[in-house]
Amino acid sequence: MNKKKFTYKKSGVNINAADKFVNFITSVSSKKKGKKKFSNIGGFGSITNIPQDINQPKIVACTDGVGTKIEVANILNKYDTIGIDLVAMSVNDLIVQGAKPLLFLDYISINKIDLKKLKSIIKGILKGCKLSGCELVGGETAEMPDTYEKGKFDIAGFAVGLVGKNKILNKNKIKKNNLILAVPSNGLHSNGYSLVRYLLNQKKINIKKNLFLKNELLKPTKIYVEEVLKLIDQNLINGCANITGGGLSDNIKRIIPNHLVANIDLSKIKTLSIFKWLKKNGISDHEMLKTFNCGVGFCLVINSKELKKISKYFSKNYKPYVIGKISKGNDKVRLNGSINWS
């Protein structure tokens, strides 16, 4: 009598492939320069030193994903940038609190382990960590054949940072007559992709054959860590906001104290070609502002006397410029005028 053999591999989960992937992560993460106190990859948990140069350190933690930008990566079969996006989405939130990113972990869930695809994603994550000055200390890869369709996957990231008690950026530092500066984005970053994909499907646009969209839709999210931490170190900013889902209004209102209002002049915004394309192809002003960053990836709130000092910390394409001012009021945010889409 033949007894049917049941194995994990037959159920769709390949432990050997997962082990090979862990070995790959260990090898590429160990190539970084500098001395590491602990080796974390492959263990049950990560161990990390707390820097000694931070006065009364406070822990800040963030988590995020890249949304349906993953589906664009699948269509174009290009996975080397979404790892950068994954890191950016969390570390750009950390610095809003004034925190310096310390460590990062990833979670990848996938229908079936595809080593080529996963290696490409991890290389992007490592690049994002390098750009933000933190360390990839571990993560998890889950092979889930019945949860995800063939070729489908999702990624999530977790970042931990530290900030000295006296460097925490809180609402109380923002005052009347402070200026609001826009720091340019480099494109869509990782927000609004469900709306973008809906538009593409409705108009039957093949992004594989559209060089402009092919180049724009997988641009990795700009990481603002290096520049913003320098400003915080020099006490040049009173507050900042990462402009992600919800656009300018929803994100800036999160940092405005009661009885103050951020007055933003939309006509001052220097938008980008991808947003002009989306507007031209049928997305309303309201939806553009509610869904996308529209060219403003990050905002700074500063004392007016610091304006000239700010610019030198940013490269040519990311020079901050004034888009508004803080005044008395209870609305949190007032959007005035309109963006010039031409």
pLDDT tens sequence across 313-331 = 999 999 999 999 999 999 9
Tokens coding 182: 């826009």
Q: Contact, 197 vs 73, CB < 8 A? A: no
Spell 231-261 as b/e; 16+ CB within 10 A means b: bbeeebbbbbbbbbbbbbbbbbeebbeeebb
For 163-214, write each residue's pLDDT tens digit: 999 999 999 999 999 999 999 999 999 999 999 999 999 999 999 999 999 9
Q: What is the C-alpha end-to-end distance of the chain, expressed in Å?
A: 77
**Cα separation of 298 and 304, whole Å?**
18
Residues of the chain with CATH 3.90.650.10: 171-187+222-336
Could you tell me which residues are beta bridge partners of residue 265? 336
**Cα separation of 28 and 16, whole Å?**
19
**Residue of 129, 227, 140 lying closest to 183 (CA atoms):** 227
H-assigned helices in the chain: 15-29, 69-76, 82-94, 115-132, 193-202, 211-216, 225-233, 247-252, 273-280, 285-291, 307-310
3-state helix, strand, coil in the chain (%, to 5): 40, 25, 40
**Could you name the CATH architecture of 171-187+222-336?**
Alpha-Beta Complex (3.90)
User: In the CATH hierarchy, which fold is given to the domain comprising 15-35+55-165?
Assistant: 60s Ribosomal Protein L30; Chain: A; (3.30.1330)
**Cα separation of 76 and 58, whole Å?**
41
At 30 the pLDDT is: 58
* Residue 58, Cβ density class (10 Å: 0-12 exposed, 13-18 middle, ≥19 buried): middle
Residues of the chain with CATH 3.30.1330.10: 15-35+55-165
List, in order, residues 6 or more apart from 245 with CB less than 8 Å away: 191, 192, 291
- HSE toward the beta carbon, residue 15, CA cutoff 13 A: 5
| Beta-strand pair 153-164/100-110 | antiparallel
Residues of the chain with pLDDT under 50: 33-38
At 44 the pLDDT is: 74
At 49 the pLDDT is: 82
At 22 the pLDDT is: 64
At 50 the pLDDT is: 84
**Cα separation of 291 and 289, whole Å?**
6
At 33 the pLDDT is: 47
At 73 the pLDDT is: 97
Residue 287 CA, chain-centre distance (Å), reads 21
